[in-house]
């Protein structure tokens, strides 16, 4: 088969011209008319921490002093206090209302189950004839609120 009549210079230039026109049309339709992607993140500078070189520190022994404001009082065994772990008891299986504020007028945040353990974070406050303690579940910081001491028993820390 003889291809020489099909490969003259006008055929080659025509094919290149058609390919160029198709390329320009493709760029106009797809490339130049579509919106550019702009990330929503913006500029985020890198954090750089400068660590100074170590210096010579003289070997000085400081005599400890007792600051009464820093002394943590020790609780009597069985006494409820900040930092103690308490367990809900005496509700006959019905659970205890944990409230948003100390007192019977506070909204119930959730029900604490019988034998559920909490960490005491604040208190005591007296309201409506009860002593109230602010409790936080050790496994979930969102389970927190005020509970009456009458239904709490001190337990050893886990």
Q: How many CA atoms lie within 13 A of 91 on its CB side?
A: 21
Partners of 34 in the beta sheet? Answer: none
pLDDT attached to residue 46: 66
Q: How many CA atoms lie within 13 A of 98 on its CB side?
A: 23
pLDDT attached to residue 158: 73
Tokens (6 digits) for 34: 């579509």
Could you give the CA distance from residue 25 to residue 150 in angstroms, rounded to a whole number?
A: 83
Give residue-wise pLDDT tens across range 96-124.
999 999 999 999 999 999 999 999 999 89
Least confident of 66-70, 94-98, 123-127: 66-70
Instruction: Write down the residue that tokens 């058609």 correspond to.
Output: 18
Least confident of 14-23, 47-56, 135-144: 47-56
Could you give the CA distance from residue 156 to residue 119 in angstroms, rounded to a whole number?
A: 11
* Helices within 1-153 (DSSP H only): 9-26
**Element counts in the chain: helices (H) and strands (E):** 1, 7
| Contact (Cβ atoms closer than 8 angstroms) between residue 118 and residue 147 | yes
The yes-or-no verdict on residue 1 having pLDDT over 70 is: no
Tokens (6 digits) for 30: 């797809």
The yes-or-no verdict on residue 86 having pLDDT over 80 is: yes
Could you give the CA distance from residue 11 to residue 15 in angstroms, rounded to a whole number?
A: 6
Average of per-residue pLDDT across 134-157: 92
Cis peptide before 124 (omega within 30 of 0): yes
pLDDT attached to residue 8: 81
Give residue-wise pLDDT tens across range 27-57.
888 766 666 666 566 666 667 777 777 776 6
């Amino acid at each position: 088969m003889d291809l020489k009549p099909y490969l003259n210079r006008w055929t080659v230039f025509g094919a290149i011209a058609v390919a160029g026109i198709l390329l320009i049309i493709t760029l106009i339709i797809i490339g130049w008319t579509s919106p550019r992607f702009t990330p929503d993140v913006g500029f985020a500078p890198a954090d750089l921490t400068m660590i100074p070189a170590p210096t010579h520190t003289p070997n000085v022994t400081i005599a400890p002093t007792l600051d009464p404001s820093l002394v943590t009082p020790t609780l009597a065994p069985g006494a409820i206090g900040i930092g103690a772990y308490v367990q809900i008891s005496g509700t006959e299986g019905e659970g205890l209302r944990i409230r948003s504020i100390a007192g019977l007028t506070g909204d119930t945040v959730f029900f604490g189950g019988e034998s559920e353990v909490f960490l005491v974070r604040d208190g005591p406050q007296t309201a409506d004839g009860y002593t109230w303690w602010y409790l936080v579940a050790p496994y979930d910081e969102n389970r927190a609120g005020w509970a009456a001491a009458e239904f709490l028993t001190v337990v050893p820390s886990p």
